[in-house]
Amino acid sequence: MNNVQYEELCRHFIARNFGLSVKDVKSITIPNPRRPGLPKYKHQIDLYWETGNEISLYLNIANAKWRSSDKVDQGEVLLLYQVRQEVDAHKAFMISSVGFTAGAIAVAKHHGIALHAVTPAFNVSTIPDRNRTAIRARLGSMANSSEQPIFAHRIENRGLDITGTSAVASPRSPVAPHVLPHTTTVRQAETRVAVPRIENAGIPASRFKQGGPERRG
């Protein structure tokens, strides 16, 4: 399997678990906000889809990593976390054909990145090589004719419920600063007031930005 075939399999995986059409799971580029005096650049997003309900909308992104042996490592998950911050996505997924190192899992748990191992459950030689339209059609045909999913799936870090059509990405809400309560200790007429301790100051998510045409094949 090559990276194009794997990305299309992951598109099918996302669409199936969210109850979407594969056409709703897009591959795009999103321009980064431009700062005065600095050059432009863009983020290539392997898989981009929106979920929500009547009163809210959530942006999800995923990176599909086809590997023959090497597991996804810590730095790659950190990079995905940074991209999620840059494009104001509510949720980010890392999908790998092999799995993830202990460092990658630790980062994902800390930053709420979903990690999923997805592998084909069919003979890869039966699908087209590089033509995305043909690959999608073949995967759809196999899925429709099979009672079982056409992929094997293992959750490494859940980070998000994707067990059915009702599942939606949880918005990033501000993390309330944790403040220890004021305490007073009296010792020989001496009063001590505990200093409040601030941990995990959160940053509220801003309105996401959409952009870019469908990217490369």
The encoded tokens of residue 178 equal 């944790």
Is 3.30.420.40 the CATH number for 3-157? Answer: no
Q: What is the pLDDT of residue 183?
A: 39
Spatial separation of the C-alpha atoms in residues 12 and 47, rounded to whole Å: 10
The encoded tokens of residue 22 equal 């594969």
Kindly indicate the confidence band of residue 159, based on its pLDDT and cuts at 50, 70 and 90: confident
Spatial separation of the C-alpha atoms in residues 60 and 15, rounded to whole Å: 12
Q: Cβ distance 18 to 166 under 8 Å?
A: no
Q: Cβ distance 47 to 8 under 8 Å?
A: no
Q: What is the pLDDT of residue 55?
A: 92
Q: What is the pLDDT of residue 30?
A: 86
Residue 185 pairs with which residues in a beta bridge? 192
The encoded tokens of residue 42 equal 């863009």
Kindly indicate the confidence band of residue 160, based on its pLDDT and cuts at 50, 70 and 90: low
Spatial separation of the C-alpha atoms in residues 178 and 197, rounded to whole Å: 7
Q: Exposed, middle or buried by CB within 10 Å (0-12, 13-18, 19+), for 167? A: middle
Question: 54: Cβ–Cβ under 8 A, 6 or more apart, which residues?
Answer: none
pTM of the predicted protein model: 0.72
Q: Is the pLDDT of residue 145 over 80?
A: yes
The encoded tokens of residue 125 equal 């030689």
When pLDDT is averaged across residues 113-127 and rounded to a whole number, the result is 96
The conformational region for residue 88 under phi > 0 = left, psi -120 to 50 = alpha, else beta, is left
When pLDDT is averaged across residues 45-56 and rounded to a whole number, the result is 94
How high is the mean pLDDT of the chain? 80
Spatial separation of the C-alpha atoms in residues 210 and 204, rounded to whole Å: 18
When pLDDT is averaged across residues 167-182 and rounded to a whole number, the result is 38
Report domain extents, the chain: 3-157
When pLDDT is averaged across residues 27-48 and rounded to a whole number, the result is 88
Q: Quickly count: other Cβ atoms within 10 Å of residue 114's Cβ.
A: 21
Q: Cβ distance 27 to 47 under 8 Å?
A: yes
Q: What is the pLDDT of residue 164?
A: 38
User: In degrees rounded to 5, what are phi and psi of residue 16?
Assistant: -65, -40
